[in-house]
Each structure stands twice: as C-alpha cells, then as structure tokens.
Amino acid sequence: MADLPRCRLATWADVDGWADRVAAEVRARSAVPGTIVGLTRGGWVPARLLCDRLGVRRLVSLRAQHWGVTATPTGAAQLTEGLSGPVTGQQVLVVDDITDTGESMALAVDHVRAGGPSRVESAVFLHITHAAFAPTYFAEEIPRDAWVWVVFPWNYWEDLIALSARAVEFGSGIDRVRATLRERCGLNVPRSDLEKIAPNVPFG
Ligand code: AMP
C-alpha cells in the first residue's frame, strides 16, 4: 500500500509571516548580507522574498537534490549544480524553505564556504528539530515527533498530483481520493482542485 504522509498546507499568509520573521531576525542580529544564495528549488521563493525584505540585490542559485516526489527520500543529498556566481569576499546568506534531515543545507553551506566568502549564515522558514544542521535563522520550529510534509504554495500542484496518485490505491474516484487525503494526510482539498489534476492522475 502507498505511503501517505501527514501533511500541513502552508498558505501565502504563512509564507509572508515567516519571511517577515526571518528578515527581522537577520536585521536584529547581523549585518545585512551582500549576496543571498537560494537553494533550488524549495529555497527560491523564500530567497527572493528575503532579498526584497532585506534590500539585497544579488541572488545566486545552487541546486541541491535529496527528496524525490513528495516525501519520497532518494538517498543522500547531493549538490547537482554549482553556484551560479562567485561568493568570494561576500557576506552570504544561504536560504532554503525547510531543514528536515538538514543534509541539503549542510552541503550547501560547505560548498559556499569553499568559495571564500567573508561570512556565511543560513536561513530557513521551518526547521524540524531532528535536522543534523541547525540554521542560523528560522521562523518556526517543528518538533521531531510532529514531523509533517509541508505543502508549500510553490509546490502545491506537484504535491497534490503525487499524493493523489498514491491515494488512489486506497480507493478510486475523485471523492474517495479527496476523503483519503483528508483522513490520512490531514489535507482538505477543494474538489475543484482534484478536477483540475484529473488529466495527470488515474482517478478511475
Ligand atoms: P533536507 O535535506 O532533508 O533538509 O531537505 C531538503 C529539501 O527537501 C527541502 O529544502 C525541501 O524542499 C524538501 N523537504 C524536505 N523535508 C520536507 C518536509 N517535511 N516538507 C516539505 N518539504 C520538505
């Protein structure tokens, strides 16, 4: 039977609040960075929002891969594409959406350090307390025994398709899948959203 994780649906209002909190913390504790590194893909929107709030004009990308589609681990994290620009002599803030195992952020920070910056800090919106890496800044902590898969707004359709495809194994049809997502994942999804993904999911 398919593995269906408990989920938490994050809203754009949550995201705004997390970005405000992290930006305020950075301003309170440190000099504003000259460069933000956004981990692709999850860290791109958070990185851009922090650029806006902190007035940072230089945004560089770095690609880390760890998880497959929606809560499916694929083994150890890897950096699969390097920095899109140099960080030598820069005060750098590395940004991702969440630290779960923490492997992606740990690898990214090491990689940035090797590029000769004058300072490296890290920031995420959510930090799960079992993560092997503690970021410098986070907006909210999730206790390890309250682990959930967070469905961020920038991943909503991808997650919905992946979860629905697995939910079909518990019973077919849009209404049955909708009930399974509610009961097993804790996700309340409008029926119209499931209708939209019908071309991508074998609802039966
Ligand atoms: P990790 O290396 O395990 O700390 O996580 C790497 C990336 O996987 C994160 O930046 C997220 O994009 C994604 N991810 C990991 N765990 C979760 C989770 N519990 N909820 C949502 N996304 C996650």
| pLDDT per residue as tens digits for the range 98-110 | 999 999 999 999 9
Q: How many residues does the chain have?
A: 204
Cα separations (Å) of 112 from 28, 82, 99, 142?
23, 9, 17, 26
Pick from 15-24, 68-77, 82-91: least confident: 68-77
Give yes or no for residue 66 CB within 6 A of ligand 1.
Answer: yes
pLDDT given at position 112: 98
Q: Which of 7, 4, 9, 128 is nearest to 72 (CA)?
A: 4
SS3 content of the chain, % helix, strand, coil (to 5): 40, 25, 30
pLDDT given at position 67: 81
| pLDDT per residue as tens digits for the range 112-132 | 999 999 999 999 999 999 989
Give yes or no for residue 94 CB within 6 A of ligand 1.
Answer: no
> Average pLDDT of 158-181?
97
For a mutational test of ligand 1's pocket, the pick from 7, 45, 66, 105, i.e. the residue with the most ligand atoms closer than 8 A to its C-beta, is: 66
**What is the whole-number distance in angstroms between the Cα of residue 88 and the centre of ligand 1?**
28
Q: Inform me whether the pLDDT recorded for 2 exceeds 80.
A: no
For a mutational test of ligand 1's pocket, the pick from 62, 80, 100, 107, i.e. the residue with the most ligand atoms closer than 8 A to its C-beta, is: 100
| pLDDT per residue as tens digits for the range 4-32 | 999 999 999 999 999 999 999 999 998 89
- The answer for residues whose C-beta is within 8 angstroms of residue 14's C-beta and 6 or more apart is none
Q: What's the predicted TM-score (pTM) here? A: 0.96
Are 26 and 32 a contacting pair, CB within 8 Å?
Answer: yes
Query: Reduced to 3 states, what is the DSSP secondary structure of residue 97?
Result: strand
Domain map (residue ranges) of the chain: 12-145, 151-199
> Average pLDDT of 134-144?
97
Are 39 and 46 a contacting pair, CB within 8 Å?
Answer: no
pLDDT given at position 114: 97
Q: Inform me whether the pLDDT recorded for 66 exceeds 90.
A: no
Sequential DSSP letters for 111-145: HHHHT--SEEEEEEEEEETT-SS--SEEEEEE-GG
Q: Retrieve residue 125's tokens.
A: 């919106």
What proportion of the chain, given as a percentage, has pLDDT over 90? 90
> Average pLDDT of 177-181?
98
Confidence of residue 138 (pLDDT cuts 50, 70, 90): very high
> Average pLDDT of 34-47?
98
Give yes or no for residue 155 CB within 6 A of ligand 1.
Answer: no
Buried b (16+ CB within 10 A) or exposed e, 172-202: eebeebbebbeebbebebeeeebeebeeebe
Fold for domain 12-145? Rossmann fold (3.40.50)
For 74, the enclosing helix (H) or strand (E) is: strand 73-81
pLDDT given at position 1: 60
Bridge-based pairing of strands 119-128 and 91-99 is: parallel
pLDDT given at position 30: 86
